[in-house]
Amino acid sequence: MTNNTVSLPFGPDAPWLAPLAGYSDLPFRTLCRRYGAACSETEMVSAKGLVFGGYGTERLLGTTSEDTPLVVQLFGAEPEIFERAMPILLERGFTHFDLNCGCSVRKVNKSGSGSALMTRPELLLRIVGVMLRAAGPGNVGVKMRLGFTPEDENFLDLGRRLEDLGAGWLALHPRTGKQLFGGTARWRAVGELARAVGIPVLASGDLFRAEDAARCLAESGAAGVMFARGALTDPMIFQRLKDILAGREPSARTAAGLAEAALTHIRLCRELDGTPRGFRAIRAFLPRYAKGFTGIRALRQALLTCHNWVELEAMAGSITHLAEDLAAPESLDLEPLELTQDY
């Protein structure tokens, strides 16, 4: 079941879950929706893998009626492959798509995909053109960086050309491809792009807390935000942002609240996946919930002793025994994301 003709939500109080390779699978998307995510994107899907039946592609496209609206994010560097991939997705009922021009991981860039596409703007535009001809104007977005290096920042020119081509929205992670996750996200650049185009621009990058997102919206004037690492540590970040924007005091990030989220996540994984792969994935994920709390090392070690779903659910409750005092934001140590799949 797919998103059919549901329109996409844009607005400060309509935060999105970013496409996160190895993380934004169906269980996690469902969890984030229950905590206020207005829209989600799939993990990035290889257009070539889709056409030739690559390992794991089918799982990446798994969805349910609750998983809506949904955007399928594709990556690749060959227009002719996209011409073959798009009909497959449309036939399955998917209607909204995103081209990944932001991934800066070496093995993706080596194929000419991800942020490396920004070094070949004509090719990037050709691929988006193929997607738009298949899906229709407004149904394709692009997630991109400032450029591949500081010397060739071309996001403004590309943004204007993508709008002219018929793109429906843009998402900007305001770093260069070469920066990976280093330095600081330039939120002002998001504002530059938002003023340069007439289509919605979503801000991404360094949105670790709901307060960060509210500040980014105020500084940039973006149409909305797209949470990535912040959602991995705190899936309730979506509702917290909505509370702030509505003038309400957001609920505190507590061990008890995160334990509840972790338990829900485990049960969703068991229900929607239930495979040994799914079990290993959620077991590795759980320590992220405890970022900033004392006792995380003990929790990580204890999780390794869990060998079935029942033991894992019981262990999730131990998060409530962690200290209630959060560390300062600077010490949360939110490491850069790494691909957990062989794309």
Compute how many other C-beta atoms are within 10 angstroms of the C-beta atom of residue 338.
Answer: 8
Query: What would the DSSP string read from start to end of 11-52?
Result: STTSPEEPP-TTT--HHHHHHHHHTT-SEEEPSPEEHHHHHH
Q: Assign 202 to helix, strand or coil.
A: strand
Q: Tell me the C-alpha distance between 233 and 40, whole Å.
A: 17
DSSP state of 182: -
269 is catalytic: no
Query: Looking at the chain, how many residues does it have?
Result: 343
Closest C-alpha among 172, 77, 169 to residue 132? 169
Q: Tell me the C-alpha distance between 191 and 189, whole Å.
A: 5
Considering 32, 39, 101, 103, which one is annotated as catalytic? Answer: 103
Q: Give the 3-state DSSP-derived string for 257-269, with helices as H, strands as E and coil as C.
A: HHHHHHHHHHHHH
CB 118 within 8 A of CB 144: yes
The residues carrying an active-site annotation are 103
